[in-house]
Amino acid sequence: MKKIHYLLLLFIAVVVSCENVEENVSETENLTTVQEIDMSDFYVETESTDDFSSRGNSEVHKCESMSVLNRQLKENPSLYNKMYNIELHTRHLIAGKKGGNGGGNGGGGNGGGGGSDPTPYTAAVTIPVIINILEDNAGDVTQAQINTQIAILNEDYNNNNPNTGGAPSEFAGLVADVNVTFTVATINRKISTRATWGTSNAMKDSGQGGIDATDTSTYLNIWVCNIGGGILGYAQFPGGAASTDGVVIGNDYFGETTAGGVYGDGRTATHEVGHWLNLRHIWGDGRCRQDDFVADTPSSDRANYSCPTYPTVHCRTNDMTMNYMDYVYDDCMYMFTAGQNDRMRTLFAAGGARESFVN
Amino acid sequence: MQSIYIFLFSGFMLANCSAQIKDSISIEYKAVTRGSQISLLANSEGIIYKSYDKNLELKISEDQWNEIKDLVFSIDLDAMKNLIPPSTESHTDRAMIGSLLINKNGQIYESSTFDHGNPPSEIKELIDTLFELAD
C-alpha cells in the first residue's frame, strides 16, 4: 500500500514538473509574434561541449526533451533565442510560399503591410569566400585544390553535377538548382607545425595559432587544416558566434585530391556549406520521426555510408542516399531538393540570418 | 518478523549473485562519421578495438570483467534507447556519432545516438572504463 502511495507521489511529481517546463517554453514562444507556425519539434544545437541541448527526439517522452530544451535555454539563452527565431523565420517564409503558390501574389506592395506573405529569396546569390589555410609548408594546399574546390561548389550549387542525371525517377523531379555561386575573395596562408587542430575552433583563433575569421557577415570563411580525430570537415549553423562562423575542411578533403580517396572530390565542402546554410542531415539526426525540417526529403533513422544501391529502405520509404546531406562517398552524392533549396534561401530573404550577403 | 526480513534479504542476495554468474553479457560501442569509424567489442574474453588509426585485441582479467558487468547491471537497459545526449556536435559533423549496444542473455539493448567523447551520464562510466582498458 505504501508502495502505491510512493508511485502516486512520483507520478504527480513528474506531471507537475512537466507542466512547469511547458509553461516556461510557452513563455519563450511568446517572445515572438507569429502564432500559426508549429515549432513544437524544434531543438537547438550546441556550440561548445559545455552546453546542453536536446535532440528533440519525438519518440522521447515530451516532458524529458522539453526539460533539456529548457536547460539549454538557461545555459545559453542568446544562442537558443537566435536559433529559434531563425527557424521560426524560415518556417514562416516556407508557409508563405505554400500559401501564395499562384506565383508572387500580385505586384509590388513591398512597403505596405498586409500584402502577400514573405517568401524565400529567389534571385541569384553570389558568395565571396575567404580561404584560411594552415599548412606545414607554404603551398602544401595547392592552388589546384583551391580552384577545384570552388569549381565543385559551383557545380553542386548550380545543378551541374554530371552524376545528377542518374537520379532515380522518384527523386529526379525534386532536384533543385540552388543558384548560388562561390568566388574566391582572399586566400590567407599561415605556416604551422601543429599536427592536428581538433574540433574546438582553435584554427579560427590567431591567439591559438590559427587565422581569425574575416567579416563573416559578408564572406563565407573556409578554414583548411588537418583536423584529426577521424573528422573530414565540420560546420556551424547560422545563429552561432560570428567569430567562428564558417566551415572547416581537412587538407586531404579540400578540392580534388588523391590523398582523399573516395572523399577526394571536394564534396565535404558541399555538405558543410549545406550546414552553414542551415540544412540538417537528411536523416534528421535521430529516429524515423525526427525530421530534417524539409518536407520533400524522405524520413530515415540513420546515415548512409559508402555508395548505397537504390533502393535503400529505412522508415518504410526509400532513402535519398544521393543527397549532399547524407554521409555517402563524394561520387555518390549529387542533389539538393527543392525543399532544401527553399530552406537555404529563407536565410537571404528580408530578416534572414544571411541577408547581409545579398544587400 | 525480523527473521522474515533476513530471509528476504538473503534470498535477494542469492538471486542477485546467481544472476551475475549466469548472465551472458557482451558490449559493443560504435562511433561513426563520414570517412571513419571506431568499434569496441567487449566480452568476458577480452576487448577488440578497431579505429581509423589503431587496431588492438587484449585479454582482460576476471576482476576487470566483473567491474564492467557491475557497471552494466547499474544501467537501466530498457531506458537506453531514450537517453538524451548532453551535446549534439555530430549534427554539424563536429563529433562522430556514438552508440552503445548491450547484449544480455541474447536480448539486445541499443542506446540512442550521442556525440562520441560525450556520452549521456547514465552510460558514461561504462564507456570510459572500456576506453581506459583499450587505451
pLDDT at B94 over 80: yes
- Is B84 close to A327, i.e. CB distance below 8 A? no
Q: In sequence order, what E strands does A96-255 have?
A: 125-135, 180-191, 220-225, 233-235, 247-250
Q: How many CA atoms lie less than 13 Å away from A203 in the CB half-sphere?
A: 35
Closest A-chain CA to B37 = A230
Q: Please, which contacts does A304-307 make with residues 24 or more away whose CB atoms are closer than 8 Å?
A: A304/A328, A305/B32, A305/B34, A306/A262, A306/A332, A307/A331, A307/A332
Closest A-chain CA to B53 = A230
CB A203 within 8 A of CB A248: yes
Minimum-distance CB partner of A263 among B35, B94, B117: B35
- Is A55 close to B86, i.e. CB distance below 8 A? no
CB A183 within 8 A of CB A129: yes
This prediction has a pTM of 0.83
Give the minimum alpha-carbon distance from A54 to chain B in angstroms, rounded to a whole number.
Answer: 7
B32-42: pLDDT as tens digits: 999 999 999 99
Q: Which distant-in-sequence residues (6+ apart) come within 8 Å of A13 by Cβ?
A: none
What SS3 state is found at A312? coil
Q: Which three cell numbers stand for residue A350?
A: 528580408
Helix (H) or strand (E) holding B36: strand B36-43
Chain B residue numbers with beta carbons less than 8 Å from the beta carbon of A235 are 92-94
Chain B residue numbers with beta carbons less than 8 Å from the beta carbon of A257 are none
Chain A residue numbers with beta carbons less than 8 Å from the beta carbon of B35 are 230-232, 253, 263
* Residue B7: pLDDT band with limits 50, 70, 90: low
CA–CA gap between residue A116 and residue A349 (Å, rounded): 14
CB A23 within 8 A of CB B63: no
Q: What's the pLDDT at A41?
A: 84
CA–CA gap between residue A141 and residue A133 (Å, rounded): 7
Q: Nearest-CA neighbor of A248 among A238, A230, A237, A234?
A: A234
Mean pLDDT for all residues in chain B = 89
- Is A327 close to B33, i.e. CB distance below 8 A? yes
Chain A residue numbers with beta carbons less than 8 Å from the beta carbon of B84 are 54-55, 57, 60, 64-65, 68
A18-56: pLDDT as tens digits: 333 333 333 344 344 444 788 888 876 443 333 333 333
Q: What's the pLDDT at B68?
A: 97
Q: What's the pLDDT at B91?
A: 96
Q: What number of other Cβ atoms are within 10 A of residue A196's Cβ?
A: 13
- Is B84 close to A54, i.e. CB distance below 8 A? yes
Q: Which three cell numbers stand for residue A171?
A: 527523386
Please say if A64 is a catalytic residue.
no
In chain A, which residues have pLDDT < 50? 1-4, 6-35, 45-70, 100-115
What SS3 state is found at A145? helix
Percent of chain B with pLDDT over 70: 84
A98-147: pLDDT as tens digits: 864 433 333 333 333 344 678 999 999 999 999 999 999 999 999 999 99
Q: Which three cell numbers stand for residue A264?
A: 577526394
- Is B32 close to A268, i.e. CB distance below 8 A? no
Give the minimum alpha-carbon distance from A155 to chain B in angstroms, rounded to a whole number.
Answer: 21
Q: What's the pLDDT at A101?
A: 41
Give, as one character, the DSSP assignment of residue A168: -
- Is B87 close to A46, i.e. CB distance below 8 A? yes
Q: What's the pLDDT at B135?
A: 83
Cis peptide before A168 (omega within 30 of 0): no
Q: What's the pLDDT at A74?
A: 59
Quote the distance between the C-alpha of residue B51 and its chain's center. 18
Report, in angstroms and rounded to the nearest whole number, the Rg of chain A calculated over CA atoms.
22
DSSP string over A37-97: S--TT-----SSTT-------TTS-HHHHHHHHHHHHHHSHHHHHHHHHHHHHHHHHHHHH
Q: What's the pLDDT at A10?
A: 43
Single out the catalytic residue among A45, A47, A155, A272. Answer: A272
Q: What's the pLDDT at A61?
A: 38
Minimum-distance CB partner of A231 among B33, B85, B86: B33
